[in-house]
Structure 1
């Protein structure tokens, strides 16, 4: 069974917990900002909540466990109800990936705090390993979701952002091709040459983003020895 999974079988509890948090916060961010901008569609559908049950899609979770990529239930948004549809539409689309970037920063900040306070060393070996695994996936999965959702392929957020940037005539033509989005998405994920040509170069920058956040926190905290925290995860 482990050969069918993208992640080690022993890590699945941590992966699932982080996926549940990351997807829930991501979709909540979309729904909340749409609501405060005047669109009650997601609110009336019960999506302005941090309850994971209303946001998670089991097929999307299964795929992320098997293929490394998946999705949550998309938040319904009616941009026509916004006072400034294009600007507010961009914000509503962008806050989802930005929430994942924020969770990456929170995970890195937690590593700094644990290192500087010595709290991690005070627990048992089992507690230490559980915290390390959780923070590892909190940081890495959220940065992957941040980058992945900015890819300009429907129905991802990057595509929605571009739709609100381009002229109306171009947007109309883009809307005509939305039905092909999921097909293109699955081709990219499951055909190795396409994946290597598109996704792998994008995700190669994830370590650079993580290092940039680390460097930012290093300006305010004593520099952390990441090898002491976990040599396998934070090299």
Structure 2
């Protein structure tokens, strides 16, 4: 009886996660209804909470896939509760990804789940566990951008549309960047099982720095411009204009909203 109760509690959704979802719902409603006196504050809270929800789902996808692949220790670590504080480190899991968004409008996941790889047999399973996170970001991006590529924007308030466009941009950047074959990122985790033991040992010391290295490279102007040109091209294919993502990020940074986006809002 105790074991069954323990297993049930290991999978019960965390009140922390439910609280973040509640913030996302309330602030999303505030953006939709123009209830907030300062729409930028509501956009900031809505996008940030939605981004944290996506981080939780990203890590949950890793954990759930690992559980079904043979790592039965996942539940006792709290990963199935969707509690962001369980994903390795609060600073790396929450604070840094949010700072990335504020500083550069870049979606980079920072959390991680510790998977006991020795319990899992089969290289395909290891690759699938790593791929599950970025695939979750792809799914989240499709949901955020659905009103645009389905041409279902009638009746959608303009600021809410901007917020969705910016959130879609974050999910697409997260999916692409985290799929890079860089040590420490999921893209490397996908190919790692297929590498020789010698190569894996040589690369292992660099894994803790992969995320910061990618972020640092993106600060090179030429790389940054090329990267965001590619992102803009993907978003245009989904029916989202550069002006919509720009204004979404502009309202998100409510402390420095531009006259252009304010003029669009007042039309």
TM-score (norm 1): 0.71
User: 1:134: how far off?
Assistant: 3.1
Q: Quick one: structure 1 residues 31 and 232, their matched pair in 2 at CA, closer, same or farther if it must change by over 3 Å? A: same
User: 1:52: how far off?
Assistant: 4.1
Instruction: Specify every segment of 5 or more residues in structure 1 that has no aligned partner in the other structure, as ranges.
Output: 1-7, 122-127, 215-225
Q: Give per-residue Cα distances to partners, 1:136-173, cap 9 Å, x unaligned.
A: 12311100111110122231111222312322222222
**Are 1:79 and 2:117 matched, yes or no?**
yes
Which is worse superposed, 75-84 or 44-53? 44-53
Which residue pairs with 1:66 in the alignment? 103
Q: Quick one: structure 1 residues 93 and 22, their matched pair in 2 at CA, closer, same or farther if it must change by over 3 Å? A: same
Hey, what's the Cα distance between the residues in 2 that align with 1:81 and 1:135? 40
Which of the numbers 52, 65, 80 marks the counterpart of 1:33?
A: 65
Which of the numbers 63, 86, 95 marks the counterpart of 2:132?
A: 95
Q: Give per-residue Cα distances to partners, 1:90-148, cap 9 Å, x unaligned.
A: 111111111111111112223456727x4x26xxxxxx134313321231110011111
The size of the alignment, in residue pairs, is: 201
Hey, what's the Cα distance between the residues in 2 that align with 1:183 and 1:106? 28
User: 1:203: how far off?
Assistant: 4.0
| Aligned CA-pair RMSD | 3.1
TM-score (norm 2): 0.63
Instruction: Specify every segment of 5 or more residues in structure 2 that has no aligned partner in the other structure, as ranges.
Output: 1-38, 88-92, 247-267
Q: Give per-residue Cα distances to partners, 1:53-78, cap 9 Å, x unaligned.
A: 44442233223322434433211112
Which residue pairs with 2:259 in the alignment? none
Q: Give per-residue Cα distances to partners, 1:6-40, cap 9 Å, x unaligned.
A: xx965422331231122111111111111111113
Which residue pairs with 1:220 in the alignment? none
